[in-house]
Amino acid sequence: MSTVYRATDTRLDRRVALKVIDPALAGDDEFRARFLDEARNTSAVDHPHVVPLYDVDRAPGPGGEERLYIAMRFVDGRDLASLIGGRPLAPERALRLLDQVADALDAVHAHGLVHLDVKPANVLVEGRAGSEHAYLADFGLTHRGATGHRTGAGDFLGSPTYAAPEHLRGEPVDARTDLYSLGCVLFTCLTGRAPYRGTVTEVIDAHLAGQVPAATAVLATAAAGAPPLGREVDELVRRALAADPAARPGSARELVAAARAALARRPGPPRHPREGNPGADRATGSSPRGAVRPDHPREGNPGADRATGSPPRGGGNGAGPRPGTGPVVGNPRPPTGPVPRRQPPGPPPRRVQAPAAPADLGAFGRDGGPRRPVVVLAVAGAVVVVLLVVLVLALT
């Protein structure tokens, strides 16, 4: 219907985006009326996330024909489709951008308008990641009221990839029609691809069939190793893309807020085994990396660290004494409980050399008592004396 140029406003000396109606449609009363409606609808929504309109007028074309144009703010950035580029955005970044789009879309709906062309290519983004500003653009199909969103010949106007079933069927539309499209954009941001792909006919048939693919499964195929989105995100996407408009969220803000809550509760990233020993956590039953172990210095045994295979205290990565509760990777027989605190050993016993018996002890031992041979001789002497006495008495 039109072509957008980067141009310069010579009166104010500023860059603008200049949207000019297609020459082939310049003489078509229906499309001229739609073009002017776009200008009115855009200017009706004064919102920080809607591209501001500067001017609308007509000018002679190269062949002298009258050409309608709209002058708007020039957004020095990229559209969301190119930012995605077939790869999923980080969920936090996607939510920051869609928060702004949702604000703009609710403002459009508050004016009784339906955008009817919400898609990544119509979201313009300027600034750097973390401080990006998003604009909802291209109000060429925006319509006031439930009907009249097709051409006079009954042709569909819009992007089938992101269009709601009622829009595709030519049925009455309202704000919920845009919420369906916003749900498709959310799906695309999180997975890197639109919900339905194929030929135009195949895409339209898929929208009408209402078999919404699970975003988690699509992401697992598109980006192996990415954290799963979770069942809540899948359920939210199915709700946003429901065939029945009454089953969809109540507003664009509600949809994005629900996505934020669901993503906050999604499963964590897959757990990676410890470097250098992939089976360490399973083999030893130790806590995952990042757990800590109380420090028990091995006093009195300087070689204990080397004996158990653990790094010496204060070593390893240079982070000081190693805390921890689990066993050390590489120790085939890890402790099953807290490591007991070893008491420092007392002073070693003094070795005393037993002295030899001195030669001057004579008939006495080291303790001053008589030795055994001396006792025997004394008894024998007494016996001899008794015998002599008996003999003398006998002779007399």
Where in the sequence numbering do the catalytic residues fall?
Answer: 117
Tokens (6 digits) for 227: 């954290």
Got the DSSP string for 144-207?
A: ESSS--S-TT----S-GGG--HHHHHT----HHHHHHHHHHHHHHHHHSS-S--SSHHHHHHHH
Residue 254 has phi, psi (to 5 degrees) of -60, -40
- Return d(Cα 383, Cα 26) in angstroms, integer: 159
Beta bridge partners of 114: 143
Nearest of 16, 15, 18, 14 to residue 5 by alpha carbon: 18
Q: Which of 17, 249, 32 is nearest to 137 (CA)?
A: 17
Q: How far is CA 328 from the centre of its chain?
A: 29
The CA dihedral of 75, 81, 82, 85, to the nearest 10 degrees, is 160
Beta strands in 91-144 (DSSP E): 113-114, 123-126, 133-136, 143-144
Partnered with residue 71 across adjacent β-strands are: 18, 55
Contact status, residue 263 vs residue 215, Cβ threshold 8 Å: no
